[in-house]
Amino acid sequence: MAKFSLQHVYESQQFDLELLNIVFKTADDMKSDLLAKPRQYADILKDKIMASLFYEPSTRTRFSFESAMARLGGSILTTENAKEFSSASKGETLYDSTSVMCGYADLIVMRHNEPGSAKLAAEVSSVPVINAGDGSGQHPTQALLDLYTIKDHFSTIDNLTFAMVGDLKYGRTVRSLSYLLTKYNNIKIYYVSPTVCKMDEDIKAYLTTNSVEWEEVSSLEKVLPLVDCVYMTRIQKERFHDLEDYENAAGKYILDMEKVNLMQEKSIIMHPLPRVDEISKEVDKDHRAQYFNQANNGLYVRMALLYLLLGNHDT
């Protein structure tokens, strides 16, 4: 049987197809188990402690990790804003915080404002570290639940076409998803963004090296009839250093029913949330809207990761 071989999860490039399939199969098992009586996995992590160390605000990611741990019988150490309410406010380094936390918990879930922070933490940690978002760097668990949602809907990820829309420069979710899509065949990605929010060159070069076709376009209407998945993102005001750049980008791409009607019937709409105004609420009732289902899938994927990392189980 295949074994989950990762000790930490800090970037999407760590995953190959075999590891992705292990995560997805385990997530399926977790989803089924939540409906089972009795539950097989209800107490599987009852002797384990997860530290939820978030230096930036979070709703879905933090709560879904904490819910995942609770549903597996584990315990949780948490702080809502580690940047303000932990010793980081006194100047403690990430190195020291991680080194100390290893003595208190069996696994650390970390969100930090600096790209690459989770990888640095993993290098000094004696317990598994999961990257829950590192600034504008990556968000690998979001990309995993995104792929899980896509696979659940289409049954396969090969031969699909994507439009990634909005803040591509600072959007860690689209960076992470772009990396993972290189593991599949015959993928095409349209990058649709304001000029100040274009996808960085490193991602585009990675796609080219891995034979993934991509194209930058400015018209959302042009690509909507062509794609299987529209992945909308929020323009992240907190990442911009220039307010004028933000104001020029905000509100440029809004998906309303007039635009949704340009899409294929079988296509889906995704969003990592939270949204501001980039998807009109009228779209929520359309059968193509998958963003709330996408958020729910985060629970199953994160349950799977906690189970796999803390037990290193055969699957």
Determine how many CB atoms are found less than 10 A away from the CB of residue 204.
17
Within 13 Å, how many C-alpha atoms sit on residue 66's CB side? 16
- Name 37's Cβ contacts closer than 8 Å, sequence gap at least 6: none
What pairing do the DSSP bridges indicate for beta strands 161-165 and 129-134?
Answer: unpaired
Q: How many beta carbons lie within 10 A of that of residue 214, not counting itself?
A: 18
Q: Give the whole-angstrom CA distance, residue 212 versus residue 208.
A: 6
* Residues belonging to the active site: 60-61, 90, 111, 139
User: DSSP letters of 255-315?
Assistant: B-HHHHTTS-TT-EEE--S--SSSB-GGGGGSTTB-HHHHHHHHHHHHHHHHHHHHH--B-
Residues 6+ apart with CB under 8 A from 206: 178, 179, 182
Q: 3 has which bridge partners?
A: 314
38 upstream amide cis, omega within 30 of 0: yes
